[in-house]
Structure 1
């Protein structure tokens, strides 16, 4: 009996401060890794959503061009890179200086923003629908009013996460796409993009 009492006095009845601190540190490291992964997943989901919604809007612009029998132009809103505006061109009909007023607009959620093809991760071979004379939405009998080729590029803040809407001469539809990373060896083409 005396021996049993001596053993019970030496037995631990709780955790030491060092043990508690080790567990807290391990939990902190695991939650930090989890939060970083979650933030990346949220960014990927938002850029995919922006690309899909932009593709739907561009299809609507093409349909509106046919419905109005008018030339429509896409522009990035100078005061807000999250917004594209649709301007009617009633005189030159080449989008060099559209003057028919804004007829529609579309915004994506920040920090995603519309960017020109000169941005590092966007395909340099893409005909940019925000500039030049190749971004005219004009009615075509039996075809989409969207330009025959080219597209729009979207970037998630300053991260290397990109979305795009593209049209190819071979395909008569607008295709939403996305990619993660900026592989500089393949920025000239669409080979490292995934169709949504």
Structure 2
């Protein structure tokens, strides 16, 4: 009598492994998308904080505007185009783009658009405008990232939304 596995047993095992790996790939893709959205929220917020600090250091107004897939900070009040101070770009991810919406009721003004927003130097405070936000979307799906400046806060808050901006979670 020979010992071993029948062909049917091998096919069943291989098909079960295929089903489990397909489920793993789908959840891995979702985790990658979620991490890209979180990174966008954190990186845009950090960049805007850096621009606010640079505005105070320069003691000059700085215009921040989204141009294509990058945020540019230039010297002078908006919409004037002065010398470039710095820029931030989404590198290696063509699915991230800026959204002109405010993404919800707690953001009064979108900082995305041709006119941009002016950061003004303030001693001991953030140079960022009193309130507003920049919203980033991932592809055509429901996942969004946002850098939010509230009226009663001195910092810019990174947030994410998994339902097209209906509900936001801080990071």
Query: Normalized against structure 1, the TM-score is what?
Result: 0.77
Deviation at 1:68, TM superposition (A): 1.3
State whether residues 129 and 150 of structure 1, in contact with CA within 8 Å, keep that contact through their aligned partners in structure 2.
yes
Structure 2, unaligned runs of 5 or more? none
Deviation at 1:125, TM superposition (A): 5.7
- Equivalent in 99, 117, 134 of residue 116 of structure 1: 99
- Equivalent in 31, 41, 47 of residue 37 of structure 2: 47
Corresponding residue SS for 1:140: coil
Of 29-38 and 108-117, deviating more is: 108-117
- How many residues in Structure 1 have an aligned counterpart in Structure 2? 169
State whether residues 85 and 104 of structure 1, in contact with CA within 8 Å, keep that contact through their aligned partners in structure 2.
yes
Is 1:84 paired with 2:71?
yes
Corresponding residue SS for 2:19: helix
Q: Which residue number corresponds to residue 86 of structure 2?
A: 104
Instruction: From the superposition, tell whether residues 74 and 57 of structure 1 become closer, same or farther in structure 2 (CA, over 3 Å).
Output: same
Corresponding residue SS for 1:177: strand
Q: Which residue number corresponds to residue 35 of structure 1?
A: 25
Is 1:13 paired with 2:8?
no
State whether residues 63 and 73 of structure 2, in contact with CA within 8 Å, keep that contact through their aligned partners in structure 1.
yes
Instruction: From the superposition, tell whether residues 134 and 170 of structure 1 become closer, same or farther in structure 2 (CA, over 3 Å).
Output: farther
Corresponding residue SS for 1:118: coil
- Equivalent in 128, 135, 140 of residue 110 of structure 2: 128
Q: Which residue number corresponds to residue 25 of structure 1?
A: 15
Deviation at 1:130, TM superposition (A): 2.1
CA deviations on 1:112-154 (whole Å, 9 max, x unpaired) are 52413338xx336631112376721111233210011011111
Runs of 4+ in 1 over 3 A off after TM superposition: 131-134
Computed over aligned residues only, the root mean square deviation of the Cα atoms, in angstroms, reads 2.2
CA distance in 1 between counterparts of 2:137 and 2:14 reads 37
Corresponding residue SS for 1:87: strand
